[in-house]
Amino acid sequence: MISGKRTVVSYYLGIQIPYFMRTVTCFALACLLSFVAHAQLNAVRLNQIGFYTGGPKVAAITEKPASDVFFITTADGRDTVFRGALQAERPSKYSSTRVRLANFSGLQQQGTFVLRAPGLPPSYPFTISDAPYHDLAKAVIKGFYFQRASMPLEEKYAGKWKRPAGHPDTRVLVHASAADDKRPEGTVISSPGGWYDAGDYNKYIVNSGITMYMLLAAYEDFPAYFGQLDVNIPESGNGVPDVLDEALYNLRWMLTMQDPNDGGVYHKCTNAEFDRMVMPHQASKSPRFVVKKSLTASYDFAAVMAMAARIYVKYDKFFPGLADSCRKAALSAFEWTENTLRRTSATARWKSTA
Ligand SMILES: [Ca+2]
């Protein structure tokens, strides 16, 4: 379209358009057509995972349908299991998108379905069941297993994602920023295990602190559900809920990040530079460091350890002394932060959390 002297656009406009302008015009047209096609394809927005059998079920129609009705059919389109009326268009002062809702909460038949509004492409398939998020919950918990540092992922647990161990972290150096009289620069400590961060092979107390809270809170809120959730990790079937086994893999690493001399917690375990985009066992063998103790890391650590002490005490026969160790670690980390706050200025505190 852009190779000749006259394009379709220039032909219909009856003018000669410079090559650059033709390119830009064609690109803009392609984007516009793509946008229109994409909007059409996604005209029915709904929860693509699924809905509880007895729960609310609502879809949002974001393009103009040919009529005011909608249908829920089986995935193959052969049987209609529900029909309803689209709700009136709702204006929003925050968006120009015109939306009409399709409420099909009355449909309580289990299966896989699609929503169809006349004149628009059907929705993505969705399920209605008594446990629509069960597979999602398993995948989320299992996701942390794939992030495990310092251990190989075996095929029987990891499938096609099996891989050798990376980053043993049994010889980690105290960085200059974290050095003190009892642990001078270059002191070797062991800090194995834990999870890699989302986008790199370093390990962060603050980042994993919120994650630990979420996992432990999920267990505390739904102990019966997580008590039976088997996600096929090496600790499955050991009598301890897998979510607590997985959290423990990171908890044990977190414990290594506390300086036993004063209770302060190192901010992260890290390379001097990020590893390249390679598999963990192919990453650089350059030194790993623990860096400056921080208020944020120590407070996060204290909170996670306090919570862990409360939860893992119920599994004391499996992990003797763990809950007590967590309690002591929480108290000493909290004490370090309080003492540090007392003797530092507001400016220094701000820098400490940066
Ligand atoms: Ca288990």
- Amino acid, res. 177: S
Task: Report the pLDDT value the prediction gives residue 78, as an integer from 0 to 100.
Answer: 95
Give CA–CA dist 26/118, Å, rounded.
32
Give CA–CA dist 162/164, Å, rounded.
7
Same topology, domains 48-129 and 134-353? Answer is no
Give the closest residue to 281 by CA, choosing from 150, 110, 92: 150
Task: Report the pLDDT value the prediction gives residue 15, as an integer from 0 to 100.
Answer: 43
Q: What is the mean pLDDT of the chain?
A: 90
DSSP code for 6: S
Task: Report the pLDDT value the prediction gives residue 1, as an integer from 0 to 100.
Answer: 34
The continuous run of DSSP H or E covering 174 comes out as strand 172-174
> What separation in Å is there between the alpha carbon of 317 and the centre of ligand 1?
14
DSSP code for 266: B
Residue with tokens 């002490």: 309
> What separation in Å is there between the alpha carbon of 240 and the centre of ligand 1?
4
Task: Report the pLDDT value the prediction gives residue 264, as an integer from 0 to 100.
Answer: 98
Neighbours of 56 (CB within 10 A): 9
Q: Are 70 and 61 in contact (CB under 8 A)?
A: yes
> What separation in Å is there between the alpha carbon of 226 and the centre of ligand 1?
10
| Residues found in the chain | 354
Q: Are 231 and 145 in contact (CB under 8 A)?
A: yes
Distance from chain centroid for Cα 137: 12
> What separation in Å is there between the alpha carbon of 246 and the centre of ligand 1?
8
Pick the CATH number of 134-353 from 3.40.50.970, 3.40.50.300, 3.30.43.10, 1.50.10.10: 1.50.10.10
Residue ranges per structural domain of the chain: 8-41, 48-129, 134-353
- Amino acid, res. 122: P
> What separation in Å is there between the alpha carbon of 299 and the centre of ligand 1?
29
Give CA–CA dist 269/198, Å, rounded.
14
> What separation in Å is there between the alpha carbon of 312 and the centre of ligand 1?
13
Give CA–CA dist 261/250, Å, rounded.
22
> What separation in Å is there between the alpha carbon of 165 and the centre of ligand 1?
21
Which 3-state string (H, E, C) describes 62-105? Answer: CCCCCCCEEEEEECCCCCEEEEEECCCCEEECCEEEEEEEEECC
Task: Report the pLDDT value the prediction gives residue 3, as an integer from 0 to 100.
Answer: 37
**Structure-token pair, residue 115:** 């929503």
Buried b (16+ CB within 10 A) or exposed e, 163-196: eeebbebeebbbbeebeeeebeeeeebebbbbbb
Predicted structure pTM score: 0.81
> What separation in Å is there between the alpha carbon of 319 and the centre of ligand 1?
12
> What separation in Å is there between the alpha carbon of 52 and the centre of ligand 1?
27
> What separation in Å is there between the alpha carbon of 281 and the centre of ligand 1?
26
Q: Is 2 helix (H, G, I), strand (E, B) or coil?
A: coil
For residue range 253-267, what is the model confidence (pLDDT) as tens digits?
999 999 999 999 999
CATH level 3 topology of 48-129: Immunoglobulin-like (2.60.40)
Task: Report the pLDDT value the prediction gives residue 343, as an integer from 0 to 100.
Answer: 86
> What separation in Å is there between the alpha carbon of 92 and the centre of ligand 1?
48
> What separation in Å is there between the alpha carbon of 229 and the centre of ligand 1?
9
Task: Report the pLDDT value the prediction gives residue 284, as an integer from 0 to 100.
Answer: 85
Kindly give the confidence (pLDDT) of every residue in the chain, 354 residues in length, as a single tens digit, with 9 standing for 90 and above: 333 334 433 433 444 545 545 555 545 555 444 544 555 568 999 999 999 999 999 999 999 999 999 999 999 999 999 999 999 998 888 999 989 999 999 999 999 999 999 999 999 999 999 999 999 999 999 999 999 999 999 999 999 999 999 999 999 999 999 999 999 999 999 999 999 997 799 999 999 999 999 999 999 999 999 999 999 999 999 999 999 999 999 999 999 999 999 999 999 999 999 888 999 999 988 999 999 999 999 999 999 999 999 999 999 999 999 999 999 999 999 999 999 999 887 666 666 665
Give CA–CA dist 202/288, Å, rounded.
9
- Beta strands 126-129 and 50-52 are parallel
> What separation in Å is there between the alpha carbon of 168 and the centre of ligand 1?
23
> What separation in Å is there between the alpha carbon of 28 and the centre of ligand 1?
55
> What separation in Å is there between the alpha carbon of 232 and the centre of ligand 1?
9
Task: Report the pLDDT value the prediction gives residue 39, as an integer from 0 to 100.
Answer: 53
Q: What are the residues whose beta carbons fall under 8 Å from the beta carbon of 128, sequence distance 6 or more? A: 50, 51, 52, 53, 57, 107, 108, 109, 110, 111, 113
Task: Report the pLDDT value the prediction gives residue 29, as an integer from 0 to 100.
Answer: 53
- Amino acid, res. 169: D
> What separation in Å is there between the alpha carbon of 214 and the centre of ligand 1?
18
Q: C-alpha dihedral over 247, 250, 255, 259, to 10 degrees?
A: -150
> What separation in Å is there between the alpha carbon of 320 and the centre of ligand 1?
16
